[in-house]
Amino acid sequence: DVKVTQSSRYLVKRTGEKVFLECVQDMDHENMFWYRQDPGLGLRLIYFSYDVKMKEKGDIPEGYSVSREKKERFSLILESASTNQTSMYLCASSSSMIYGYTFGSGTRLTVV
């Protein structure tokens, strides 16, 4: 079974802190994605990557950056956390842009 592991289930950070959310997949997938889920807004794509060191902006990249130095790892970085970045963050990986997205369990981030 494909496994996507997000390093933290719950995280509390202060406004202005630099925050790293880590995601690791174990099935050699080329594509990895970061989404955030908010009530009434559904799943919104922040960034995705289709290869090592490659990244593409999604629908809401402002305030975020990403890093993919190794194929199995995709990091989401909040450069200076703000309260409006309080959300559930979901990482996914896939061998295709369409099929077989496997999601991690999510990281509930609270910025105070």
Partner 1 sequence: DQQVKQNSPSLSVQEGRISILNCDYTNSMFDYFLWYKKYPAEGPTFLISISSIKDKNEDGRFTVFLNKSAKHLSLHIVPSQPGDSAVYFCAANGGSQGNLIFGKGTKLSVKP
Binding-site ranges for partner 1 (CB under 8 A): 4, 9, 31, 33, 35, 40-45, 48, 50, 56, 58-59, 90, 92, 97-106, 108
- Give min distance, CB of 3 to partner 1, in A: 11
- Give min distance, CB of 65 to partner 1, in A: 18
CA distances, 7 to each of 24, 39, 45, 61 (Å): 8, 23, 19, 21
User: Tokens 């402002």 sit at which residue?
Assistant: 62
Among residues 41 and 52, whose Cβ is nearest to partner 1? 41
Cα separation, 112 vs 3, whole angstroms: 31
Residue type (1 letter), 15: T
Among residues 13 and 108, whose Cβ is nearest to partner 1? 108
Among residues 28 and 59, whose Cβ is nearest to partner 1? 59
- Give min distance, CB of 13 to partner 1, in A: 19
